[in-house]
Amino acid sequence: MPTAPHLAPTPPQGVTVPAEEPREATAVPAAPDPELAQDPDDLDTRGAGVDAAPARPAGPAAPGYDDAEREAVLKVMRERRDIRNGFRGDPIPHEVLLRVLEAAHTAPSVGHSQPWDFVVIRSADTRRSMHELAMRQRDAYAKSLPKGRAKQFKELKIEAILDTPVNIVVTADPTRGGRHTLGRHTQPQMAPYSSALAVENLWLAARAEGLGVGWVSFFDEREMVRALGLPEHLEVVAYLCVGYVDEFPDEPELMQAGWSKRRPLSWVVHEETYGRRALPGEDPTTCSPRPSHRSARWTPRRSARRGSGRSA
């Protein structure tokens, strides 16, 4: 049975209208007294909330999820995998794909600009032309590798464009939300970051549906924009291959192939300042810019010694 050819029509997406620019404040705050030095106690927050009067009536904090719900959330994060092998041809039911796209569309976004679009591709012809583009970039990358690594790379499958019934292009529109999008002024990269978060939502929702997703980044972005006839101002954030799979591996496929290793949590958590280790565990051995730097050693903290800080 073929996959439903179209997604349900969605109502036109409203463009986030930027709120009116705040007017300049008219009241000028009093100039600080230059004689007054800051009391060091001002910086001490240990007593905050104990002696000080609470700003508003203290009530119970908003509840988290119960144990089973929390475990389900963590499980889908743990068991999400990037998949390139073992895809099946089974069609993806319309309502399943819609749930996955709905999840993507609930992602956080800079200034709530929702800069993503999802181009759902099923046509074998289009997938073939995308595959050709990716193969050219694959060859170019292979040529750039040192001999040993190139040999290892030859064995790796890096895409499943032709093996999956659905491919999804996720884009970012840097103009969405207007010129004054809150939070994008200084950091324009926040638009593609937002679309990347939509990808993660999609990936997790797909895993919960038993759908594998493989991210392919072997593309020249402008080449793809032209080949797919996308509006020229869009950025391509992700090309995703989606389909049912025989299994979800326990570990990343690149790890299983000996291409990469997992970095322990203790290597990437720093206490107050970069390099001061917060969690117990072995010192970083590779991939660190300054692996032997003294400050990179773990300094025992009471909370970690109590055993709450497990070595990841």
Q: Pick between residue 193 and residue 218 the one whose CB is nearest to ligand FMN.
A: 218
Q: Pick between residue 110 and residue 170 the one whose CB is nearest to ligand FMN.
A: 170
- The minimum distance between CB 265 and ligand FMN, in angstroms, equals 14
Q: Pick between residue 153 and residue 271 the one whose CB is nearest to ligand FMN.
A: 153
- The minimum distance between CB 215 and ligand FMN, in angstroms, equals 4
For residues 161 and 130, is the Cβ–Cβ distance under 8 A?
A: yes
CA distances for 84 relative to 88, 152, 264, angstroms: 11, 16, 25
Q: Pick between residue 192 and residue 309 the one whose CB is nearest to ligand FMN.
A: 192
- The minimum distance between CB 81 and ligand FMN, in angstroms, equals 4
Q: Pick between residue 159 and residue 173 the one whose CB is nearest to ligand FMN.
A: 159
**∠168-170-176 over CA atoms, to 5°?**
145
Task: Report the residue number whose CB is nearest to ligand FMN.
Answer: 252
Residues lying near ligand FMN in the complex (CB under 6 A): 81-82, 84, 158-159, 215-218, 252, 254
Helices 190-208/94-105 angle, 10° precision: 140
- The minimum distance between CB 294 and ligand FMN, in angstroms, equals 32
- The minimum distance between CB 252 and ligand FMN, in angstroms, equals 3
Q: Pick between residue 98 and residue 196 the one whose CB is nearest to ligand FMN.
A: 196
- The minimum distance between CB 22 and ligand FMN, in angstroms, equals 36
Q: Pick between residue 124 and residue 257 the one whose CB is nearest to ligand FMN.
A: 257
- The minimum distance between CB 80 and ligand FMN, in angstroms, equals 7
